[in-house]
Structure 1
């Protein structure tokens, strides 16, 4: 039975982007099930019928259901070990899991002040000290990974992997909000934006017409 991934709007749903990108960039076949967010009771019930958590993304693999972005990526990595979403070396794998978990649980100010919105005109906004600290920390992580693993490839741990999928929406946030970044950060962003799966998600998000007012920011 093929995998099914329930996602929200590509224009807004950063959490949906992460496992979608992990699957697509790894060339793992799956069926995409789109449920518009915040459009009414019926669509909310469609999500609740799959997962009582009531949130996307959700991965369905036969009788197995997973409803968290990082948990989905972990499941994919175990289900398809040949795709090497995590580095083979134990120390590198632990490093990749650590930065992925930090992304998963942290950076609240950046998330709140720079929501993902692909349609938003590119322009800077006034950011809080906490958001600026988040941005500095993301760049620190990316720079450290690139310095350690650049000889293995252009992504965070050489080849594209789970950590890149987890940080992918931040690339959009930095671009959309015209965040001033270092040359190393920009080089990594360029690598991600050139990834065919990343470009595919972006193109589809830009093609969406549904506007969710609560996600529209100045």
Structure 2
């Protein structure tokens, strides 16, 4: 199967990170094309690939798939033996629910804490709605852990698509120096030690100043 992933800057594009981590989980060989964001020709270049004008985009033999959630589900279908979702039915349902909640919400956190792998400073003031998002996020992670049936340091024990979706949140919590409970801090560290994430982080930090 020929797969081609179109992404934005690794330094700034949290949604692109999700797509790349999903492909890594699927152990799917793919080629990669980076289109720099916030440039005069960015939208024009993206529209050549998809009418959404957004990243990530996955080109496959079945067409161009837009949106990281759709990419994740496509890969789970095409690579069923990779175990992208938890094996247990209840855990799998919770994983999908958690990813959908993240995908469709947490706008205060995302808006006030832009994804930037190179950042290392707290917000001067934390708006109430951001604090509420952080607290809900920590509760959601706890709900995932409670539903897990596998052992391990990831949200559902074994690494899954849930971790691909929440990795950018872990980055925000660390780069904005959010004080976390021990369990949540350990999970953030798990993400930072994930080889696929470390490779992305290294490439993203190399973009600084380019």
Mapped partners of 1:99, 1:57: distance in 2: 20
Mapped partners of 1:206, 1:123: distance in 2: 19
**Structure 1 stretches of 5 or more lacking a match?**
212-218
Cα-Cα RMSD: 1.5
Alignment CA distance shift 1:76-1:151 (3 Å)? closer
8 A Cα contact 1:122 1:175, kept in partner: no
Deviation at 1:124? 3.9
Other structure's SS at 1:50 match: coil
8 A Cα contact 1:25 1:196, kept in partner: no
**Structure 2 stretches of 5 or more lacking a match?**
none
Other structure's SS at 1:127 match: coil
Mapped partners of 1:28, 1:71: distance in 2: 16
Partner of 2:96: 97
Deviation at 1:51? 0.5
Mapped partners of 1:80, 1:102: distance in 2: 24
Deviation at 1:210? 5.2
Mapped partners of 2:180, 2:124: distance in 1: 15
Deviation at 1:52? 0.3
Partner of 1:44: 43
Other structure's SS at 2:148 match: helix
Q: Cα deviations across residues 33-90 of structure 1 (Å, max 9, x unaligned)? A: 111111112x322210110010000011124111101111011111101111111222
Partner of 1:203: 202
Mapped partners of 2:120, 2:176: distance in 1: 8
Deviation at 1:24? 1.8
TM (normalized to structure 2)?
Answer: 0.94
Mapped partners of 2:44, 2:192: distance in 1: 34
